[in-house]
Amino acid sequence: MSAQSAKDKPIKVLWLTSSYPRSKDDSASVFLRYLAEALANKKVSLHILSPDHPEVQAATQPDGIVCRYFRYFWPRKLQMLAYGSGILPNLRATPWLLFQVPFFILSMFVAAAWIMVVQRPSLIHAHWIFPQGTVAVLLGKLFRIPVLVTAHGGDAFALRGSFLGAIKRWTIKHCAAWTSNTNATADAVGPDLPKPHIIPMGIDYRKFASGNTKNLFRSNEPRKFILLFVGRLVEKKGTASLLLAFAKLSEELRNRGECWIIGDGAERDRLELLAKELQIADKVIFHGKLPNSSLPDYYAAADLFIAPSITDYKGDTEGQGVILLEGMASGTAVISTFTGGISEIIEHKKNGYLVEPNNPQQLADSIAELILDERLRQRLAETGRLAAQTYDWQLISEKFENLYGQ
Strands lying side by side in the sheet with 45-51: 65-70, 45-51, 12-16, 123-127, 147-151, 177-180, 197-198
Please check whether residue 258 lies inside any domain of the structure.
yes
Task: For residue 194, give the 3-state DSSP assignment.
Answer: coil
Of 176, 283, 315, 153, nearest in space to 231 by CA: 153
Residue 14 pairs in a beta bridge with: 47, 124
Domain span at 401? 11-202+392-405
Asked if 189 and 272 sit in the same domain, the reply is: no
Strands lying side by side in the sheet with 333-337: 284-288, 257-262, 225-230, 304-306, 333-337, 353-355
Degrees (nearest 5) of the Cα angle 395, 396, 399? 95
Please check whether residue 53 lies inside any domain of the structure.
yes
Asked if 168 and 247 sit in the same domain, the reply is: no
Asked if 90 and 164 sit in the same domain, the reply is: yes
Asked if 242 and 144 sit in the same domain, the reply is: no
Residue 108 and residue 131 in contact, taking contact as beta carbons nearer than 8 Å: yes
Asked if 234 and 356 sit in the same domain, the reply is: yes
Taking the C-alpha atoms of residue 32 and residue 91, their distance in angstroms, rounded to an integer, is 23
Please check whether residue 5 lies inside any domain of the structure.
no
Q: Please, which residues have CB within 8 angstroms of residue 208's CB and are 6 or more apart in sequence?
A: 295, 296, 299, 326, 329, 330, 388
Helix (H) or strand (E) holding 115: helix 101-119
Please check whether residue 3 lies inside any domain of the structure.
no
Residue 167 and residue 185 in contact, taking contact as beta carbons nearer than 8 Å: no
Position 314 scores a pLDDT of: 84
Asked if 236 and 348 sit in the same domain, the reply is: yes
Task: For residue 309, give the 3-state DSSP assignment.
Answer: coil
Asked if 184 and 61 sit in the same domain, the reply is: yes
- Counting the structural domains of the chain, the total is 2
Position 10 scores a pLDDT of: 80
Please check whether residue 6 lies inside any domain of the structure.
no
Q: Helices in 202-267 by DSSP H: which ranges?
A: 205-208, 239-248, 251-256
Asked if 224 and 198 sit in the same domain, the reply is: no
Please check whether residue 362 lies inside any domain of the structure.
yes
Q: Would you give per-residue pLDDT tens digits along the chain (406 residues)?
A: 433 344 567 899 999 999 999 998 898 999 999 999 999 999 899 999 999 999 999 888 999 999 999 999 999 999 999 998 889 889 988 999 999 999 999 999 999 999 999 999 999 999 999 999 999 999 999 999 999 999 999 888 876 777 888 999 999 999 999 999 999 999 999 888 999 999 999 999 999 999 988 878 766 677 899 999 999 999 999 999 999 999 999 999 999 999 999 999 999 999 999 999 999 999 999 999 998 889 999 999 999 999 999 999 888 999 999 999 999 999 999 999 999 999 999 999 999 999 999 999 999 999 999 999 999 999 999 999 999 999 999 999 999 999 999 9
Q: What is the CATH number of the domain that holds 80?
A: 3.40.50.2000
Asked if 307 and 382 sit in the same domain, the reply is: yes
Position 218 scores a pLDDT of: 65
Please check whether residue 369 lies inside any domain of the structure.
yes
Of 259, 302, 303, 304, nearest in space to 283 by CA: 259
Asked if 224 and 187 sit in the same domain, the reply is: no
Position 220 scores a pLDDT of: 66
Cβ burial 330-355 (10 Å sphere, 16+ → b, else e): bbbbbbbbebbbbbbbbeeeebbbbb
Asked if 171 and 229 sit in the same domain, the reply is: no
Please check whether residue 153 lies inside any domain of the structure.
yes
Of 237, 244, 304, nearest in space to 268 by CA: 237
Asked if 230 and 271 sit in the same domain, the reply is: yes
Taking the C-alpha atoms of residue 368 and residue 229, their distance in angstroms, rounded to an integer, is 16
